[in-house]
Copies of this chain bind each other. A is one copy, B any other.
């Protein structure tokens, strides 16, 4: 069975819209965009559309793609010091002549709605409900919760080992009492683990690392990433048609925009509420 995350996002967006309608003040999402990368523009369009739908403000600061790193830091400092701007994000990717890592950590952590600043990333380790969660880990957990799965007693295999996504996911799952198995490219016999798992989360970006021989019936499979070979998209999970008959699986092909964007708005709303409390 395909998990329709567009539907999950729609329901979630309506709930947020209702919540926002009851607020006295209207939160606003600020985005800094550098250059005119076409996929960034499409992504921002989604963010703007959803902001308008749930009825929050949306402000875009467009910067020239030839801006120097120092000039960009000046803009960030202006944003940090501007009391009207309570949270904002910088649309990734940014041009290659600018160091992404330096830029992310120049954002005031209190205004970091993407939750990418290193001081914020760490906080996942000692999870507190009032904090934000980066958008990708957030929607992974959201999909699990939408299936009414109680993570206690459950076995979850997480296949990958990147700093930005897996660490939050692994730690969030452990905080929710799941038994978590973290595999990486140096794990022998991944199938041993996937076969006993209630949930499999894969984001290797490697061609068909999971196939129908490696799973049991009724597993929830969340396939987060893909690879592109000869202009064709290959997801981590092969044998989609067969697996779809016996498991719940996120749509392949599909795209994570709806839920990522929803969670960005959720973070905006949460930042707003944290500031008011």
Bound-state CA distance A64–B198 (Å) is 54
B residues in contact with A174, CB < 8 Å:
161, 167, 170, 182, 184
Number of copies: 2
Instruction: Pick from B121, B181, B187, B192: contact of A125, CB below 8 A.
Output: B121
Contact indicator A153/B186 (Cβ below 8 Å): yes
Is there a chain B Cβ closer than 8 Å to A40's Cβ? no
| Complex Cα spacing A229 to B153, Å | 28
Separation of A174 and B188 alpha carbons in the complex (Å)? 15
Choose from B125, B152, B193 the contact partner of A167 (Cβ within 8 Å): B125
Contact B126–A167 (Cβ < 8 Å): yes
Known pairs A126-B122, A192-B196; A179 contacts B177 (CB<8 A): no
Residues in A102-131 with C-beta less than 8 Å from chain B: 118-119, 121-126
Residues of B within 8 A of A118 (CB): 126
From known contacts A174-B182, A181-B180, infer whether A153 and B121 are also in contact, taking CB-CB under 8 Å: no
Determine whether A171 belongs to the interface, using a CB cutoff of 8 Å to chain B: yes
Determine which residue in A118, A161, A186 has the highest number of CB atoms from chain B within 10 A of its CB, and name it.
A186
Q: A153-B188, A183-B179 are in contact. Are A163 and B122 (CB under 8 A)?
A: no
- A contact residues, total (Cβ < 8 Å): 30
A171, B181: Cα distance in complex, Å: 12
Contacts of A181 in B (CB 8 A): 179-182
Most chain B beta-carbon neighbours within 10 Å: one of A118, A161, A181 = A181
Instruction: Choose one: B121, B152, B188; the contact of A126 (CB below 8 Å).
Output: B121
A263 to chain B, nearest CB (A): 20
Query: Known contacts A121-B126, A125-B121; is A184 also within 8 Å of B188 by CB?
Result: no
The interface residues of chain B lying within 8 Å CB-to-CB of A196 are 192
Q: How far is the CA of A155 from the CA of B180 in the complex (A)?
A: 13
Give the residue name and chain of the B residue nearest to A164 (CB).
B126
Q: Is the CB of A182 within 8 A of B184?
A: no
Per-residue contact bits, chain A 138-179, to B (CB 8 Å; 1 contact, 0 not): 000000000000001101000001010001001100100101
Separation of A79 and B181 alpha carbons in the complex (Å):
43
**Residues in B whose Cβ lies below 8 Å from that of A126:** 118, 121-122, 163, 167
**A132 CB to closest chain B CB, in angstroms?**
14
Q: How far is the CA of A161 from the CA of B151 in the complex (A)?
A: 14
Could you pull out 22 A-B pairs where Cβ atoms are within 8 angstroms?
A: A119-B122, A121-B126, A122-B126, A124-B125, A125-B167, A126-B163, A126-B167, A152-B186, A155-B187, A161-B177, A167-B171, A170-B170, A170-B174, A170-B182, A171-B171, A174-B182, A174-B184, A179-B184, A179-B187, A180-B181, A181-B182, A182-B182
